[in-house]
Structure 1
Amino acid sequence: MKALRTAVMVASLGWAVASSMPVQAQTVGYNIRTGDVWVDTRLGEINDYGRRYRDPFVSEMTGYYGAPRSLVLDLLDRRGWAPADVYFACAIARTLGIPCLDVVQRYERNPGVGWGNLAKQMGIKPGSREFHALKNGAVGTYDRWGYPIRIDQRVSVDWSKHGPGQGKGGGKPAQAGSAKPDHAGHGQGNSGRGPGNSGKGNSGKGNGKGNGRD
């Protein structure tokens, strides 16, 4: 009987602590699952960039993706959203030509659905024109951050080696070009033009310049 009372007390305490936590802290969290490996990799890197270089990240969300600054800051600071979640919500919104807030509200109604399923529900299906536009948006973002890439290029980017400079649309790292291939045989850097990258890359160096517009 004593053991039962103790178990009940522990359970009650746990429920009270959980009840006192903000709802967003329990439901909103970084979730990579989009159904596309290339997009998942980019989101992981964008999440890292947003945590390291907050101001350039916020500027990218407001300047290029058109999200209100107040919304971006609210998501990051008060609602506990990860930078990658903020980015993907705004990227979906830009692809569909709707306000970022619309995507945010839809996601918050059912955060467990995951970004991949939500994008499909909103008409952005893998392989579709809309999905290609979504990926092309990431190409533009990376170009403005100083790392030109191509859609489906098997490359990984380490932001830790560079501090952000004053690049167009949100700031570029002071030095660009340390993108590394995920697997041997794919080459280093950026060896030409890619979708959404209107500049020329220097093979092996990755320091091409372009406006990144799609």
Structure 2
Amino acid sequence: MQPKSKTRLMTLAAAMATLLGFGTASAQDYTFGWDPRSGDAWVDTWLGDMNRYGSRYRDPFVDEMVRYYGAPRDLVTDLLLNRHWAPGDIYYACAMASVMGRPCRYVVEVWERDHEQGWGAVARSLGIKPGSAEFHRLKKGFVPTYDRWARPITIDSDLQRDFPGRAKGADKQKAAQAGAQSKGKPAQGKGQGKNKNGNSQGSGGKH
């Protein structure tokens, strides 16, 4: 095979892998790199996890931003596919805008201008200070989002009063179910039951 043909083939394979959602983008693949600096280690951890989820499962990620955070679909798609934003940055911009009652596009523009300061400084400039009620709402919003994705999340100590039934044991059980699903073993969810013959019926959505 000629070198040029081999190069074209490799480029095509890489593009197909990207379209199909294989693999996870690295920090260098994102326009602003990846250094959230939210000022909260728990937030940074789960924003990083969103990079893995959003890169692999684009449609559910975009749907979440549109349906629950009021972001325009064309904006989220453009940020993710054309402007190469990290999914964690997209989520945090739209979630922050939702808490503020502002359009997602507004926080997107602020982040594009001030991203070198990190999310913690950007949040403070927008009136969301560490320890404030607004920051608590921002952190709390991670949990229902992860629940809708059927993705396990560890509840931070600041949020335990908001989710009293979500002790560490419950999260470990949820993580085990997710692990079983990833290995091809069905885990019984809310939408599953058993018929009179003892066979499972119904199925939950898979992302």
TM-score (norm 1): 0.60
- Is 2:121 the counterpart of 1:117? yes
Q: In the TM superposition, what is the alpha-carbon distance from 1:28 to its structure 2 partner? A: 2.5
Provide the residue aligned with 2:173 in structure 1.
205
When residues 45 and 200 of structure 1 are mapped into structure 2, their CA distance, relative to the original with a 3 A threshold, is same
Provide the residue aligned with 1:82 in structure 2.
86
Distance of 1:194 and 1:52 partners within structure 2 = 32
* Aligned-pair identity (%): 54
Please tell me the residue identity of whatever aligns with 1:195. D
Flag structure 2 segments of 5+ consecutive residues without an equivalent: 1-28, 178-188, 191-207
Higher relative contact order (CA 8 A, sep 6+): 1
- Is 2:165 the counterpart of 1:195? no
Distance of 2:73 and 2:92 partners within structure 1 = 16
Alignment RMSD, CA only? 2.9
Distance of 1:58 and 1:117 partners within structure 2 = 26
Distance of 2:167 and 2:65 partners within structure 1 = 25
Provide the residue aligned with 2:35 in structure 1.
31
Confirm or deny: 8 A CA contact 1:38 1:152 kept in the other structure. yes
Q: In the TM superposition, what is the alpha-carbon distance from 1:110 to its structure 2 partner? A: 2.3
Aligned-partner SS, 2:173: coil
Confirm or deny: 8 A CA contact 1:90 1:103 kept in the other structure. yes
Confirm or deny: 8 A CA contact 2:31 2:83 kept in the other structure. no
Distance of 2:139 and 2:69 partners within structure 1 = 14
Confirm or deny: 8 A CA contact 1:46 1:83 kept in the other structure. yes
Q: In the TM superposition, what is the alpha-carbon distance from 1:87 to its structure 2 partner? A: 0.6
Confirm or deny: 8 A CA contact 1:142 1:149 kept in the other structure. yes
Confirm or deny: 8 A CA contact 2:114 2:122 kept in the other structure. no
Number of equivalences: 147
Q: In the TM superposition, what is the alpha-carbon distance from 1:79 to its structure 2 partner? A: 1.4
